[in-house]
Amino acid sequence: MKAKLSVTVDVSLVAFLDSLPGKTRSAKLEQALSQYRKIQEDLKLREELAAYVDDDDERREREAWEHTVSEAMWRD
């Protein structure tokens, strides 16, 4: 579902919007906002991943599994 929106923006932003590919300003603005949302979601995910820190038990368990898998892969 779409909603009608009326906005007032700086002339330079209108010029930028007009320079984007697309048939209508509405389509161009929707595409720009979609791209912005994707970037924001990606940045949030990156922040969450960067904040994740294994505690000692999780780190030891992960290392044990990595060692087990590594040995299993190279066994004849």
Of the CA atoms within 13 Å of residue 34, those in its CB half-sphere come to 6
Structural domain range at position 47? 11-74
Q: How many domains does the chain have?
A: 1
- Tens of pLDDT, residues 38-67: 999 999 998 888 777 667 788 888 889 989
Confidence of residue 34 (pLDDT cuts 50, 70, 90): very high
Q: Which two tokens stand for residue 42?
A: 């990606």
Residue 1 lies in a domain: no
Residue 22 lies in a domain: yes
Q: How far is CA 18 from CA 32, 33, 37, in A?
A: 12, 14, 20
Query: Which pTM does this prediction carry?
Result: 0.63
- Tens of pLDDT, residues 15-30: 999 999 999 999 999 9
Residue 5 lies in a domain: no
How far does Cα 63 stand from its chain's mean position?
28
